[in-house]
Structures are given as structure tokens and as C-alpha cells.
Amino acid sequence: MSYQLFSVGDNVADYYIDRKLISAGGSALNVAVVARRLGVESAYHGIFGSDEAGDFLKETLRNEKVDCPVCVTRNGMNAIAKIRELDSVTKIDEVDKGVYKNLQLNSSDMGEICSAKLVHTTVYSYVERYLPRIKRETNVSFDFSFYRELKYLERVLECVDFAFFTKTGGEDVRNFLSWASEKGPQLTIMLMGSEGSLLYYKGVFYHQSALPINVVDSLGAGDAYIAAFLTELINNKIFAGKEISVKIIDKIMQRATKTAAEYCQLVGSLGIHKGVDYD
């Protein structure tokens, strides 16, 4: 089967320490699920642990009708992130990546993944060595999050069509997006939390303000934004090299912002939980 979106990389069980529950998460998994909820035929590939958390995440994907044609389960612990909350601010205390950090793709896996219209992955996913082939065969979206190591960025950006970043403190966002775009991406986008988002395309910056909402949990809001953004690219048949009008850019950013706001009002990245006690 050929998919519209294939998300590759990290699946994480977010453990809310105070609430004693795990929530489905992981940047790549979140994007696949949210895109599917928005109507995109999506698939996910990652490495699951053989434990309760891994089973929970696989069940989540089944229930959400996200295909896993090449997923792998390995003996060992699934990735777990320990989460603390303070006044609606979510903080990741620590992450044990478990078995997923050993992600490997064979030729059959690559053929399945590259058949998609768009492949999305992240800085947390260990997919970098496969990007040159993926870029040759389809369109690539990449979430760099907060990572700013220049040699890494220069190497990876040349394999990316749509590049997402999350703002770091004191960063000159406009200069950075302009620099990043020169390395290869057609679109560079900065997610800035309550400051909204900023997109750079062909020498022009486009800003979208965040919506005024009561934030319940900000975890996964960026993933929801990216999923909605990619959904709109797919729906409008915008892929590498195609011209994008101002009207379409505004529409895409508005839809992505609205979706991110909706997910800020859920507990957990996707609003899917299971009671556990890992203490």
C-alpha cells in the first residue's frame, strides 16, 4: 500500500509521575496519529519494547487506524519519559530511550517508507543515515526541535524539504530561518509557543499568532502543529518544488495553529492514557 504520510522514529510512553498514568507519545508517533485523525492515510515505523508500555503504544496505533507495516518489537524496555506538571507547564524530567535508539531499516523497509508521498522524522529518531535515499525518492519533513549543532544541521538540512524548529531562548529567529533555508529546505518553520509560529519562504517571513486558550498540557502541541501542517500540504498537493501562494501559506499556518491549540487542552500528547505506577 502507498501512504500519504509515513512517520518514522520515536515512540515513547510518557509517564505522568503525579497522575500515575502513561500517555501515548513520541514525536514521530504523535504526528502519524494526529495526521490520521485529520484524514490522512498515515503509517508509522519504530522500534517497540516487549513490555507493557510497548504493548500500549502498539494498541494505540491499532485503535487509531495507523498502519505499522514494518514496525519491530524487540526484547526489552520501550522508551519512557518521566513527566512532571506545574501550573499547566509540562516538564520532561528524564527519558530512557530503551530499545528504540537502535533503529535500523533494511531495503524492504526503505521501499515501503519511500513509497509514501511524504516522509516525516525527527532529530530524536536515528534516521539520519537513511535520509539521502529518502530524499531522492520522496518528500522529507524533519523536526529539529531545539537542536542547533551547526555541522549536524548543515548535513541534515540538505536532505530536507520542510524543516521545523522550536525556538530556544534568546535566538534570532529570522536570521536562523533564513540561514537554514539556504541549506536546502523549501520551507523553514519556527514554533514559538505563546509567540505563535514563523515561516520563511522565498525571502518572505509569515507570522501566525497563537490562539488565546486555557492550556491544560502543552506536551505534544508542536507535534500536533506539524501534523496539521503536513496534512494541509498533502491536501493541497504541495510537495518539493511546487510554488506556494500567500493564501495557501496563511491557510496552512492557521489550520496548524488551531490544531495545536486543541491538543493543548488534552492531558498527554494525544489524550490517550493508561493507569500505571512505575515508582
205-260: per-residue pLDDT in tens? 999 999 999 999 999 999 999 999 999 999 999 988 899 999 999 999 999 999 99
Locate the DSSP E strands across 52-186.
Answer: 72-74, 80-86, 89-96, 118-122, 139-143, 162-166
- The CATH class of the 5-269 domain is alpha beta
**Per-residue pLDDT tens for 123-158?**
999 999 999 999 999 999 999 999 999 999 999 999
Among candidate residues 201, 193, 202, the one with its CA nearest the CA of residue 252: 201
What is the Cα–Cα distance from 14 to 153, expressed in whole angstroms? 27
The answer to whether 173 and 199 are in contact (CB under 8 A) is no
DSSP percent split of the chain into helix, strand, coil, nearest 5: 35, 25, 35
Look up residue 194 and give its DSSP letter.
G
What is the Cα–Cα distance from 200 to 163, expressed in whole angstroms? 10
Q: Where are the domains of the chain?
A: 5-269
What is the Cα–Cα distance from 105 to 9, expressed in whole angstroms? 11
What is the Cα–Cα distance from 100 to 138, expressed in whole angstroms? 24
What is the Cα–Cα distance from 31 to 76, expressed in whole angstroms? 25
CA distances (Å), origin 111, targets 46, 106, 190? 15, 9, 31
Cell 505563546 sits at which residue? Answer: 194
C-alpha grid cell, residue 172: 534570532
Q: How confident is the model at residue 278 (pLDDT cuts 50, 70, 90)?
A: confident
